Every structure is written in structure tokens, then in C-alpha cells.
Amino acid sequence: MMSFILERTKQMPFHTDMRRVFNVFDGKQKDYNWLITDLVYYVGARRSAANELLPDDLEFEDSENYPTDLLDKYIILIDGEELTKIIYGNDIQFVWGVFSGIPKNIEIDTDELEVMPYADGNPKFWIADPTIQHPMADIEVVCWDSTLTLLFSKDEVIGKNFQEYFKDSIDLKDYNKKFFK
């Protein structure tokens, strides 16, 4: 599994702009259902260059904004296609939150989650070998207090794409080593 931290960079005008993260996924985000938890966000964040790279196959009812009401729940389980429309159809700054990409063939009951991924106050990111929180997830994107973005991925292509796209990203295990001597 690969893990990265992205902070203090001009490559992401605000943390976390999921449009930029999804650009790295090259459409693979649509292959997952997304469990979204611990979410704090603002619609109307300033435009970034990421919207210039909108996928050609997205269709919106309204060219300016796509409804975000699906994000207004405590626990969200959403299809990757729908999440992609929300992400690219709005200017959203995700302040806190965990986006867990779960393969579509795995059923998740949000009323009976055994593991509730969270960002705010989670010490398990800052250990020698941090991992994805939800055991059924292949990808995890963590939005941390508007200051940084974490990516965990079992898919090496996504991990390598993240590292290539975000040149300022650092392997999270290497980053954490400075705290363990």
C-alpha cells in the first residue's frame, strides 16, 4: 500500500480540492462506491485550474453547480459517478473528511458500520506504518483541517500518479520517520 502527504504546496490552491485529486485518478474514482465520513466542507471555494481539466464524459443539469445535498449527511455512501459530478460540478473546499473508495461489488450498510473512518483528531495517521481505516476500502483520501491532504492507495498506479501529479507530495511513512527515532 502507498501513502502520501501533501501540504504547503502551490499545486493545490486550497486543501482539499478533490477535483485535483480526482484528476490523478484518471476516472478510476467512478469504479468505486465512496464512504464519506467526518465531513466539513464549504461550497463556493475559489475556482482552481482543476476545472479546466473536466472529464469530457460528464453531463450536468446545470453548468454552474451540481446539487450537493447528498453531502449533507453524517455518513454518506455514494456511487463514484454521482460523486464525480458533485466534485467537478462545484467549487468545494473539503476542510475535514475521509473519502473511502470501496469496490462496487462490496455491500456496505451505513447503519451498521464497524469502522467509522475519521480525520479530526485521528492519531493513527502519524505512526510508523499508517493504513487505510476501513478494511473494505482500496483508496482513502483524508482532508485534514484545510492544511493538508493524505492519500492511501492499494492501487500502485493511483499512488504513482499522485506522486507524479503532486511533485510536492511526500511518502507518509518517510514523513512520519522524523517523529520516531
Report whether 48 contacts 17 (CB < 8 A).
Answer: yes
At 66, is the pLDDT very low, low, confident or very high (cuts 50, 70, 90)? low
Q: Whole-prediction pTM value?
A: 0.88
More confident residue, 59 or 26: 26
Whether 42 has a pLDDT exceeding 90, the answer reads no
Report whether 134 contacts 102 (CB < 8 A).
Answer: yes
Whole-number Å distance between alpha carbons of 155 and 160: 9
Check the CA dihedral 86-72-43-145 and report its sign.
negative
At 75, is the pLDDT very low, low, confident or very high (cuts 50, 70, 90)? very high
Whether 123 has a pLDDT exceeding 80, the answer reads yes
Whether 28 has a pLDDT exceeding 80, the answer reads yes
Whether 53 has a pLDDT exceeding 90, the answer reads no
pLDDT of amino acid 43: 85
Percentage of the chain surpassing pLDDT 70? 87
At 181, is the pLDDT very low, low, confident or very high (cuts 50, 70, 90)? low
At 109, is the pLDDT very low, low, confident or very high (cuts 50, 70, 90)? very high
Query: Can you tell me which residue has the cell 447528498?
Result: 70
